Structures are given as structure tokens and as C-alpha cells.
Structure 1
Amino acid sequence: MGKKSQAQAQVHLQEVKELGRSYIDKVQPEVEELEPTPSGPGQQVAEKNELGRLQYSLDYDFQTGQLLVGIVQAEGLAALDIGGSSDPYVRVYLLPDKRRRHETRVHRQTLNPHFGETFAFKVPYVELGGRVLVMAVYDFDRFSRNDAIGEVRVPMSSVDLGRPVLAWRELQAAPREEQEKLGDICFSLRYVPTAGKLTVIVLEAKNLKKMDVGGLSDPYVKVHLLQGGKKVRKKKTTIKKNTLNPYYNEAFSFEVPCDQVQKVQVELTVLDYDKLGKNEAIGRVAVGAAAGGAGLRHWADMLANPRRPIAQWHSLRPPDRVRPPPAP
């Protein structure tokens, strides 16, 4: 790609507009927005522990060996957004296995969402007693880490599954994440259906894991286009030296016909460049129709807004926990 075409492909941050607020406003909020005053909503929630409550259902299908978890609704959720509302969704998993998890759709600007979604976990009945069901409610934020509102934990040994269960439970404060933080990456997606063109703009990353002895890293990003679980195209950014908060604003385009856009996946891997040894992966994210959670939401928002760049922050995950979709 020549210098002229590279310049045309790049997008300035102020041009990446998002729902109601600009990218810069969301990524770099004022200090007052980050730290609520003692009289603000955040302090009131902490004092009264008014996180809200969740209604759920449980049933066990003995024929298929599946636990059916229904997320019915929530009410009185804590307001985590500056406007006094939240964009809640629920993440569901069975401890000790956090990898197999489900997420509801995001409900915009409400503290009383009605979900009406059911998820199935294939677990032998004799093993259920050693499992703990976790239903964690989060506030979705496109431009920063999603905040945990609260969670409900149900030891399955305490549940009688001889008949269906329908219950309300108060949300409790979620414990701190035990997993080591790898950092976050912000990128935009843009799809032009008439041209069959998918553009990925790697904007920046922040709080990356320290990989070098000196306490910094030399990060760069690999962008792979996958089809049928196989990597078919590869691009990469420039290397940024001695930083854990690199800024890129580099654009990459892929030809993806309309009839293939639901069959591909984009995988972004942040690596630490090592001049003498092997480049080590810091973390990875995937977006696409077969991705889950934030990766699926970002892809769906891109398709719902053709020809418009949609930017979003994603938390990096360990590379071995981001698996390509199986071939059809």
C-alpha cells in the first residue's frame, strides 16, 4: 500500500462517532466522571448496597442431561452511567468452569430490564451438586471495561431440581477478578456491503501486561481474517517501543462479499516484539457472528450501521482461550 492510500485509509479519532458521544469524550472522560463525589449515586449505592435483584428459573432435563437456566428479569439495578441509568446484560456460567458461559442481550438505558432468555448447560445430574451457578449482571460500556453491577451465586447442592424453580434473589457485590489483567484494545469496524469491503482500524491499547525485564513492552497487533476456522488473511501494525499504552490509528481492509460476512471472524492479537527471541503474545480478542459477548455485539453493531466506523474497547483474553469457530 502506498503512502497516499495509507493516508486515505486512516481515520482521525474525531471522525469515529458513536451513539450520542464522541470517541474522545468516552475514552478520555473528565476526572469528575470517573470519581463520584460523596453525595453522588456511586456513594449511595455503596452505603445502602442497593444493587438490585434478579429473577431466574432453573429446570433440569433428565432426558438430555441439561440444566436449563432462565434469566427472566431484573429490577432496581444500580445506575452506573452518568445519566442515571445502565445498559445491563447478564453473564451466566457454572463454576468451576468459567470458559463455558452464556450472555444475554444488552438492554439499553434501563434499570428494570426484561430478558426472557434461557441457556442450557450439559452437565450429568450426579455432577451438579459440586457446581455453583453464577449469574453476574454487568453494565455494558463500549469504550471502557464493562462494570459489574452485582451477581447471584447459587450452590446447586442447595437446589431441589425435582420440579422447576422460579425465584428472586438480591444481587451481591461481585468479587474482584482473580485472572491477571492483560490489558484492553480499542478498534473500529466498518463494512461497506456494496463494495464487499471490511475495514479494521486498530486505534490504541492501554494497560498492557508488562512483558520486558524493564517493566515495559514493545507491542504490535496482528489482525487475522478467519474463514471456516482457518486464517486466510493477515495484517499487522507497526511496533511501538517501550510502552504499555500504544497508539496506532492504523487501518487494514479485507475483501468480504456480502454472502460471506456472517461466515468470517476477525482475530486481533497483541504481541510483544523481541529482537533476539520469539515474539510473545500478550492477549487476543475475536469478533464475528460466531464470537460471543462483546465480540458478537461489536460485529452486530457494525452490520446494523453500514459504511460507518464503529469503535469499541475490548478486554484482552489469554490467547489459548480465544478459539476460532469450527468449520461448517
Structure 2
Amino acid sequence: MSASCNQVPELHYSLGYDRQKAELCVAFLEGNRSDHSSITEAQTELKKKALHTIWEEALLFPVAEEEMPEGTLTLTLRTCDKFSRHSIVGELKLSLAEVGEPFGTAQWEKLKTLEKVPSTGYGEVLLSISYLPAANRLLVVIIKAKNLHSKQLKVLLGNDVFVKVTLKHQSVKLKKKQTKHAKHKINPVWNEMIMFEVPHELLRVSTVELEMMTQEGGGQNQSLGKCSLGLHATGTEKNHWEEMLRNPRRQIAMWHQLHM
């Protein structure tokens, strides 16, 4: 089956539940416009990027029979770049209430793409985050930004621009770091990693705030916009944090709108 470049990503899969073993089996057969798919802590083999990808692979999950009626299965399709940074292409949430044994009929289903936040006019920032449980380290990689010109292009071009990164526990600011300064362009690039030490038990109540700053001629700093990642947030800012929690040791990259 062929797929055009404008098609919504699709997965061809089948589900089955083994009551004797208390196992949910998810069989991935093929997909359109895909690189990588995973379910919570399990994932398929990484395949080379193509419009049409074939896996023919099954994943098993221990699930008690009494948990099936209320259970939900989330299939998340990701792409992975050469730096092992993962970006979400789309996802599909399935109720386990109707899953029988053995396998049901394999089916194609369109994935839902994450809701794109309407442009705020302040630009966007691309960053990846990952957590290393053994070292209690949170890694934030500031990759690049785009469309920072917005309403102040003439004033800001040529000035230094940098990103201030603040780690918060609930509403308390714990640590603050910043990237190196770069000349203000419409699409500046940093590719700079910032590291924080965060105990695992604090991750769910911690947030990371990023603020794009420019340094004016007089040495004063001016904010160009900000975004805040954590479970308190909404949209991609919350989704990014959730993906990091579900996938320790993996770099997960996403674009985020800046706002004031």
C-alpha cells in the first residue's frame, strides 16, 4: 500500500489477550510514514525512515484480566534522528474492554497528531529533554529557535540572544542556568546541553521554564517569550514531560511555542 506525503500517519496492528497467561499481545504489522513506534515501556525495532514501514513484530504486556475492562492502550509513533532524539509523529488511544482472544482482525487506523498550539507571534524553540535515573540527572538540550523576529525584528537583529533555563519544584525556583550568547537571527542555533540534578521522586512535581532573552545595547536584558514544561502545563509542554517520564534515558525532542 502506498502513501502520499500529505497523508495522516497510519498503523496496521492487531490485539489479543491470553487469559491463561494474563498477557496482552500487541502485533505491529506495518505503518505509513513511520520510523519508530512504542507503547509505554515497550517498543518495536527501530526501522529506517520510509513512507511505508513493515515490522511484523509483537509486544507482550502482563495485564490482569480484571484490569482489562478499564484499561487503555496508547500507541505512540515517533521518529528518531541521528542524535537519538525522539519526536512524536502521532498517537492512538485504544480501550482494552473489547479485546478478545485470540487475535482480532488486523486493522488500519489513523493516528491523531498532537494539537498544534496557535502561533503566538513570539516564535518557537526546539529542545530535547531526557532523564537519567541512575545519576538523578535531567538533561535539557536547547537546539534552536525560529521566527523570533515577530514584532521587534528591527530592534533586535544583531543583539545577543540567549536562553535562560530555570528548574522549579512546585513554585520554588531551585536552580537557574543559561546558554551561551548568540547573535540574534530569525532562526538562531545553540545545540547546547544544560544539566540539573533532580531526585526521581521530585520529577512529577518539578518544572523547567525556558525564557528567550536578548541583551540590548545598554546591557539590559529583555524577554522575547517563554515556555514551561511539566505536568502542570497543557498541550505539547505537558506531552513532552510525560514522554520523558515514560522513556527514561531517551532524548525526546519537540517544538514549543513561546508566549509572554
Q: Is the CA contact (8 Å cut-off) linking 1:182 and 1:316 kept in structure 2? A: yes
Aligned-residue offset at 1:218: 3.0
Question: Which has the larger share of helix?
Answer: 1
What's the TM-score, normalizing by structure 2? 0.55
Aligned-residue offset at 1:180: 4.2
For residue 154 of structure 2, what is the aligned residue in structure 1? 213
Aligned with residue 313 of structure 1, among 244, 255, 258: 255
The structure-2 alpha-carbon separation of the partners of 1:112 and 1:286, relative to structure 1 and needing over 3 Å to count, comes to closer
Identity rate of aligned residues, in percent? 32
For residue 181 of structure 2, what is the aligned residue in structure 1? 239
1:302 paired with 2:244, answer: yes
Aligned residues: 172
Q: Is the CA contact (8 Å cut-off) linking 2:141 and 2:192 kept in structure 1? A: yes
Q: Secondary structure at the match of 1:139?
A: coil
Unpaired runs of 5+ residues, structure 2, are 9-31, 35-49, 53-72, 78-88, 96-111
Question: Which has the larger share of strand?
Answer: 2
The structure-2 alpha-carbon separation of the partners of 1:290 and 1:41, relative to structure 1 and needing over 3 Å to count, comes to same
Q: Is the CA contact (8 Å cut-off) linking 1:287 and 1:299 kept in structure 2? A: yes
- Alignment map for 1:108-119 (pairs within 5 Å): 108=76
Larger deviation: 204-213 or 218-227? Answer: 204-213
For residue 224 of structure 1, what is the aligned residue in structure 2? 166
1:198 paired with 2:138, answer: yes
Unpaired runs of 5+ residues, structure 1, are 1-39, 46-78, 85-104, 117-137, 141-145, 149-176, 319-328
Give the counterpart letter for 1:213 in structure 2. K
Aligned-residue offset at 1:252: 1.1
What's the TM-score, normalizing by structure 1? 0.45
RMSD: 3.5
Higher relative contact order (CA 8 A, sep 6+): 2
The structure-2 alpha-carbon separation of the partners of 1:80 and 1:283, relative to structure 1 and needing over 3 Å to count, comes to farther
Give the counterpart letter for 2:183 in structure 1. K
Aligned-residue offset at 1:262: 1.0
Give the counterpart letter for 2:124 in structure 1. D
Q: Is the CA contact (8 Å cut-off) linking 1:288 and 1:299 kept in structure 2? A: yes
Q: Is the CA contact (8 Å cut-off) linking 1:218 and 1:243 kept in structure 2? A: no
The C-alpha deviation readout for 1:228-260, integer Å capped at 9, x for no partner, is 212110000111113121111111111111111
For residue 113 of structure 2, what is the aligned residue in structure 1? 139
The C-alpha deviation readout for 1:152-171, integer Å capped at 9, x for no partner, is xxxxxxxxxxxxxxxxxxxx
Q: Is the CA contact (8 Å cut-off) linking 1:221 and 1:269 kept in structure 2? A: yes
CA distance in 2, matches of 1:187, 1:265: 15
For residue 185 of structure 1, what is the aligned residue in structure 2? 125
CA distance in 2, matches of 1:278, 1:106: 47
